[in-house]
Amino acid sequence: MNKTPITSLGEFGLIDHLTRNIKQYDNGTIKGIGDDTAAIDAGDDLILLTKDLLVEGVHFNIMYTPLKHLGYKSIAVNLSDIYAMNGTPTQVIVGIAISSRYTVEALDEIYDGMKLACEKYKVDLVGGDTTSSVSGLFISVTAMGKVPKDKITYRSGAKANDLICVSGNLGGAYAGLLVLEREKEVFKANPQSQPDLNQFAYVLERQLKPEPRKDIVDLLMEKEIVPTSMIDISDGLASEILHICKSSGVGAVIYEEKIPVDVQTATVAHEFKIDPTTFALNGGEDYELLFTINQEDYDKISALEEIAVIGHITENPAQTDLISTSGNVITIRAQGWDSFREDS
Amino acid sequence: MNKTPITSLGEFGLIDHLTRNIKQYDNGTIKGIGDDTAAIDAGDDLILLTKDLLVEGVHFNIMYTPLKHLGYKSIAVNLSDIYAMNGTPTQVIVGIAISSRYTVEALDEIYDGMKLACEKYKVDLVGGDTTSSVSGLFISVTAMGKVPKDKITYRSGAKANDLICVSGNLGGAYAGLLVLEREKEVFKANPQSQPDLNQFAYVLERQLKPEPRKDIVDLLMEKEIVPTSMIDISDGLASEILHICKSSGVGAVIYEEKIPVDVQTATVAHEFKIDPTTFALNGGEDYELLFTINQEDYDKISALEEIAVIGHITENPAQTDLISTSGNVITIRAQGWDSFREDS
C-alpha cells in the first residue's frame, strides 16, 4: 500500500480526493459536497446542513481561549455557513469529546457559551453526544437551517460584471490571534506579567467570539437583494474569492484600497511588520460574508456602511487579480488557513 | 469555582446536567434532547437528526480495528438511531479529525467504509469537515432522516400490558470485543502469533461491523405495526429498557429465558466465565432494536424469526424486573457502557 502523507494534498486537495466518486441515492439531495452547506429538498424550502469541527491544539489553544467563548464560537462558525446560503439556522446538534481531566464546571462553561449563541440567534440545541477523549478537547457542531428555494445563494452563481461585496471588515481575527500568541510567549517567559489587552479588545473579540452575519442576510432581504453567489470568510478573502470563481467559472478583479480593514487591525499589522492586506487576504476566521450582486442592485447597497464593494467579476476564469493601492496587478493565490499544512 | 470531576456524574447524569434549562426558539422543533434523534416539523413528515462520535482509545482501538470497518460502523451507528424512530435515513455529514501521522491511504480506507454503508442503506454523504488533530482519530457523523408523522416512535409511548420485543440477538458485540482484547494481549506477548479467529467470525463482525436494522423497520411497516415505543440497543438491554420505562412512566418485566443470545456469544461467555445474560444486559453495541407493541399485534409478529418477545410493560414505574431462568426476581439496573466511567 502507498503511504502518501496527508500534508501532501493540502486541505482542499484532500477533500477533493476523499469525496471523488461519491454517489447519490436520495432524490431529495439538491446540493451535496462543495458549498457552505448541503441543500435538501423540503417542498417550498430547502433544508441546509453543515458541520464544522473545532479541535484543541489545531483550531484553538486552551491556554488563552475562554471556554465560554469557545462554546459560543463553535455554534457561531456553523451558523455562519447557513447564513452564507442566505438561509436561517433553526437547529444545532453538538458533539463534545473531552478528556476526564476537565471538570463538570469546564463543560458547563462550554455549554453556557453554546446556549448563549443559540439564544442570540434563536436556534434550538436539539441533541448531541458527549463522550470522553484520551486527550484533548474536540467539538463537533452540526447546524440545520432552511431557505426558500428562490432565495438560496450558492457559490456558483456569480456572473461577469457582478459586483463583489464584503460585509464588515477583514483581518481582525488574525490580528487577534497574533496578539494572543505573542502574549502567550510573554506569559511563558514571565508568568507574573499582567498584560494590558484593552487596546486590542476589538481584534481579540474578532478571534475569540466571532459573530455570524445574520444582520447582513436580514439587510439583503429587506433591500430585496438576492446575491448571485455567497460564501462566508473562514479561510481568508483570497481563498474564498477563488472558491466563488472556480464554482462559477468566472474571474475576479479586487481593488486593495477597497478592502475594509479596521484601524485596530492595521495597528497590529504594523506592530508585526506585516501588510494589513495580507491579514485580510490570508488571515481567515473573520466570518464575514463575501457575495456578488447584479450591478442593478448597486444603488440599494451603496449607502450601507456594513457592506463594501471591493471589485467585480470578469468573464475570464484564469483572471483573479488584486489591483494594489499603488496600481500593480497581483494574481490572487489561496494561502488560507490549512490545518494539515506542515508549518501551521 | 468548584471542581467536580466529570466521572462523578456518569454519562446520563452528565447529559441531564448539561442540557438542563435548554430553551427552544423554533416552532419547528417537535422533539429536542432525550430520544434517539431530534424531530423537526416538515409538513407531513418529521425530519430526524442525530449525531454520534467515535473516539480513538475510547470507542475503538486502532490496533485491531480495520479502518474500513470503522468508517462503516461510524455511519451504521447513526443510521441505527434513525431506524429507532421508525424512520428512513436520507443524508449523512461527516467530520474527521486525524493526526498527520496517518496517511491519505488510511483516510481512504475510512471513507471507503463510509461510502459502502451509504451505498448499502441508500444514504447520501452530503458534506463534512476534515481536519488535523494533535493526536488520535475522531469521527463525528450526523445523520438526517425522515418519518411520516403518524409513524414516528418515541421512547415515551410504551403502555401497560404492551409486549416488549427485541430484534436479532444480544451480547454478540461485547463477546467480540472481549475476544479482540484477549488477542491484543496475546499479540503483545508474542508478535509472531497467528491467531485463528474463524471460530469467532460472527461475534467479531458484531463488534467491528454492526448492521443497523433497516430490515426490521421495513418488516414492521409490511406487517402494519407501529411500535408504541422504540430505542436502539447501543448501551445494553438493561440501560435501554430503563430509558423506555423512564420516558414512558411505566415499569417492565423481562424473562431471562426469552432473551435471544447466539450460540457463539454463549460460547465466548463461557470461555470468559461470565453469564451470557450479562453480555446481553450490559454489553452494548449490538445496535438491535428494542420496542414495545400493543398485545393486539402479537399474532403479526409471533412467527417472525428475527423478533423475540422478551417481556411486557407494567403500570408501576418502580418495577423493572428480570425473571431469571431459575425463577428469581432481579431488579434491572443500568450498567451499560459509560465512556466517563473511571474503570472503563
Measured in angstroms, the CA of A330 and the nearest CA of chain B are apart by 30
- Would an 8 Å CB–CB cutoff place A141 in contact with chain B? no
Same structural domain for residues A175 and A144?
no
Burial of residue B167 (number of CB atoms within 10 Å: 0-12, 13-18, 19+): buried
Residue B1 lies in a domain: no
Residue B30 lies in a domain: yes
Spatial separation of the C-alpha atoms in residues B254 and B332, rounded to whole Å: 9
**Which CATH number covers residue A261?**
3.90.650.10
Residue A342 lies in a domain: no
When comparing pLDDT for B43 and A54, which is higher? A54
Residue B124, pLDDT above cutoff 60: yes
Residue B8, pLDDT above cutoff 90: no
- Would an 8 Å CB–CB cutoff place B31 in contact with chain A? yes
Same structural domain for residues A127 and A108?
yes
Q: Is A43 left (phi over 0), alpha (psi -120 to 50) or beta?
A: left
Average pLDDT of chain B is 93
Same structural domain for residues B142 and B178?
no
Minimum-distance CB partner of B7 among A26, A90, A100 = A100
Give the torsion sign (CA, B257, B260, B264, B269). negative
pLDDT tens digit string along B221-237? 999 999 999 999 999 99
pLDDT of B19 reads: 87
Same structural domain for residues B99 and B80?
yes
Supply angle C-alpha B173, A18, A4, rounded to 5: 95
The kind and range of the H/E element at B179 are: helix B172-189
Residue A343, pLDDT above cutoff 80: no
Spatial separation of the C-alpha atoms in residues A55 and A114, rounded to whole Å: 16
Minimum-distance CB partner of A49 among B8, B93, B136 = B93
Span B250-276, average pLDDT: 97
Residues of chain A above pLDDT 90, percent = 82
Minimum-distance CB partner of A127 among B51, B93, B130 = B51
Q: Minimal CA–CA distance to B173: which of B60, B79, B322?
A: B60
pLDDT tens digit string along B175-189? 999 999 999 998 888
B343 falls in which pLDDT band (50, 70, 90)? very low
Same structural domain for residues A121 and A160?
no
Spatial separation of the C-alpha atoms in residues B26 and B45, rounded to whole Å: 17
- Would an 8 Å CB–CB cutoff place B42 in contact with chain A? yes
Spatial separation of the C-alpha atoms in residues B343 and B13, rounded to whole Å: 17
Same structural domain for residues B60 and B202?
no
Residue A343 lies in a domain: no
CA dihedral A276, A279, A281, A282 (to 10 degrees): 150
Residue ending a domain, choose from A127, A148, A169: A148
Same structural domain for residues A142 and A161?
no
Q: What pTM does this model have?
A: 0.94
- Would an 8 Å CB–CB cutoff place B69 in contact with chain A? no
Bridge partners (DSSP) of residue A130 are: A96
Minimum-distance CB partner of A133 among B22, B58, B102 = B58
Measured between alpha carbons, how far is residue B161 from residues B245, B293, B303, B316 in Å? 13, 9, 20, 11
Same structural domain for residues A124 and A257?
no
pLDDT of B221 reads: 96
Please report the residues numbered 76 through 95 in chain A whose beta carbons come closer than 8 angstroms to any beta carbon of chain B.
90-91, 93-95
- Would an 8 Å CB–CB cutoff place B116 in contact with chain A? no
Residue B340 lies in a domain: no
For B49-93, give the DSSP string.
EEEEEEEBTTTB-TTT--HHHHHHHHHHHHHHHHHTTT-EEEEEE
Question: DSSP state, B103?
Answer: B
Q: In what order do the strands lie in the sheet with A320-323?
A: A229-232, A289-293, A163-167, A307-314, A251-255, A320-323, A329-331
Residues of chain A above pLDDT 70, percent = 97
Measured in angstroms, the CA of B317 and the nearest CA of chain A are apart by 26
Same structural domain for residues B243 and B264?
yes
A5 falls in which pLDDT band (50, 70, 90)? confident
Pairing status of strand A88-99 against strand A45-55: unpaired
Measured in angstroms, the CA of A7 and the nearest CA of chain B are apart by 7
Same structural domain for residues A256 and A299?
yes
Same structural domain for residues B138 and B159?
no
Say which amino acid occupies A306.
Answer: E
Average pLDDT of chain A is 93
What backbone torsions phi and psi does residue A317 show, to the nearest 5 degrees? -60, -20
Same structural domain for residues B143 and B182?
no
Question: Given an 8 Å threshold on Cβ–Cβ distance, is B91 in contact with A26?
Answer: yes
Q: Scanning the structure block, which residue is given the C-alpha cell 457552505?
A: A36
Q: Minimal CA–CA distance to B213: which of B92, B325, B88, B115?
A: B88
Question: Given an 8 Å threshold on Cβ–Cβ distance, is B55 in contact with A138?
Answer: yes
Residue B344, pLDDT above cutoff 50: no
Q: Taking CB atoms and an 8 Å cutoff, what residues of chain A touch B24?
A: 124
Q: Taking CB atoms and an 8 Å cutoff, what residues of chain A touch B82?
A: none
Q: Taking CB atoms and an 8 Å cutoff, what residues of chain A touch B14?
A: 104, 107, 130
Q: Taking CB atoms and an 8 Å cutoff, what residues of chain B touch A98?
A: 6
When comparing pLDDT for B152 and A341, which is higher? B152
Question: Given an 8 Å threshold on Cβ–Cβ distance, is A51 in contact with B118?
Answer: no
- Would an 8 Å CB–CB cutoff place A129 in contact with chain B? yes
Could you give the number of structural domains in chain A?
Answer: 2
Give the torsion sign (CA, A344, B103, A237, A323). positive
Domain range for B177 is 155-331
Spatial separation of the C-alpha atoms in residues A40 and B90, rounded to whole Å: 10
Question: Given an 8 Å threshold on Cβ–Cβ distance, is B97 in contact with A57?
Answer: no
- Segment among B2-6, B66-70, B159-163, B285-289 with least mean pLDDT: B2-6
pLDDT tens digit string along A210-245? 999 999 999 999 999 999 999 999 999 999 999 999
- Would an 8 Å CB–CB cutoff place A17 in contact with chain B? yes
Residue ending a domain, choose from A131, A148, A165: A148
Question: Given an 8 Å threshold on Cβ–Cβ distance, is A103 in contact with B3?
Answer: yes
Question: Given an 8 Å threshold on Cβ–Cβ distance, is A29 in contact with B90?
Answer: yes
Spatial separation of the C-alpha atoms in residues A330 and A275, rounded to whole Å: 14
Residue A310 lies in a domain: yes
Residue of B nearest to A89 (CA): B26
**Which CATH number covers residue B38?**
3.30.1330.10
pLDDT of B13 reads: 83
Question: Given an 8 Å threshold on Cβ–Cβ distance, is A125 in contact with B56?
Answer: no
Residue A344, pLDDT above cutoff 60: no
Q: Taking CB atoms and an 8 Å cutoff, what residues of chain A touch B57?
A: 133-134
pLDDT tens digit string along A300-331? 999 999 999 999 999 999 999 999 999 999 99
Complex prediction ipTM: 0.92
Contacts of B214 (CB under 8 A, 6+ apart): B79, B83, B121
Residue B51 lies in a domain: yes
Minimum-distance CB partner of A18 among B31, B100, B111 = B111
When comparing pLDDT for A186 and A89, which is higher? A89
Question: Given an 8 Å threshold on Cβ–Cβ distance, is B93 in contact with A38?
Answer: yes
Measured in angstroms, the CA of B174 and the nearest CA of chain A are apart by 19
Cell for A217?
442576510
Supply angle C-alpha B240, B246, B251, rounded to 5: 90
B5 falls in which pLDDT band (50, 70, 90)? confident
Measured in angstroms, the CA of A14 and the nearest CA of chain B are apart by 8
Residue A336 lies in a domain: no
Span B148-160, average pLDDT: 97
Q: Taking CB atoms and an 8 Å cutoff, what residues of chain A touch B126?
A: 29, 31-33, 38, 40, 49
Residue A280, pLDDT above cutoff 60: yes
Q: Minimal CA–CA distance to A173: which of A59, A55, A285, A56?
A: A285
Q: Taking CB atoms and an 8 Å cutoff, what residues of chain A touch B107?
A: 6, 14, 18
- Would an 8 Å CB–CB cutoff place B4 in contact with chain A? yes
Question: Given an 8 Å threshold on Cβ–Cβ distance, is B142 in contact with A93?
Answer: yes
Minimum-distance CB partner of A91 among B38, B57, B90 = B38
Residue A341, pLDDT above cutoff 70: no
Spatial separation of the C-alpha atoms in residues B32 and B21, rounded to whole Å: 12
pLDDT of B337 reads: 59
When comparing pLDDT for B335 and A127, which is higher? A127
A195 falls in which pLDDT band (50, 70, 90)? confident
Per the document, the length of chain A is 344
Minimum-distance CB partner of B103 among A6, A11, A24 = A6
Spatial separation of the C-alpha atoms in residues A113 and A66, rounded to whole Å: 10
Residue ending a domain, choose from A94, A122, A148: A148
